[in-house]
Structure 1
Amino acid sequence: MARASTTSDAFNAVAEPRRREILSYLAGSERPVGEIVAALGLEQPSVSKHLRVLRDVGLVRMRCVGRQKLYQTNAAAIRPLHEWAGTFERYWQHQLNRVKERAEAMARQGPVFNSPEPNPNLKSKEK
């Protein structure tokens, strides 16, 4: 069975870890290709291919300044990804609430000091 094209939609495009890495890097500000290459330690042809996929699905925008191509994220196109991932936030929030509740319960109990049990695998250094 043929694999779905990575350029078919934003979800397929961000399935590639390198593309997510590029998007994260571009989230800070508009950047030229050479800076992306240097910062992420990827080969220039690879970065260009990933940027083309991201651009084709609308996740990044490109503008030319002289011979330099500058890329930036397209927040409007990223929004559907964010909204979809947000449907699962309740799972993360539930886990965070459990951690908070446990920490608060432990704080109410006060410090607990356990003496370490001797490790039978360690040999004493007696001479």
Structure 2
Amino acid sequence: KFGNDMKLNLCLIQPELRYWPCRKFEGHFLGVHGHYAYYNVGQIPFFSGMEDIIYRGDLYGGGITYGYHWVLGDRFSIEAVIGGGHARMEYDKYRCAGCGERMGHYKRNYFGPTRAGVSLIYFIR
């Protein structure tokens, strides 16, 4: 929780299964990922339309991932991934934190990028 009643609470889980066509943990790979999140965000002054509104709900879905894994040595490597898929959001919209006036229940679907990243990896042996 931030000052001035600003809320930014998020819990996200995004497991993934991967397939390497050649050697495991080297080179190109494909993956299938799922995701679930619970969020409670709102009263954020630097986002238009969120100054006086709180969104509380769940997000779930899945998608596919493409990535590349570079081995740098015996213990270090770098990995880059990008993925796309679907996310379903079901949430309640509230007018303010103090009054708790619910404005409605909403459902939205999203299709597009669902993950992107670059990771530095250290192998524990």
- TM-score tier, shorter chain, comes to under 0.3
Structure number with larger C-alpha Rg: 1
TM-score of the pair, normalised by structure 2: 0.24
Structure number with higher strand proportion? 2
TM-score by length of 1: 0.23
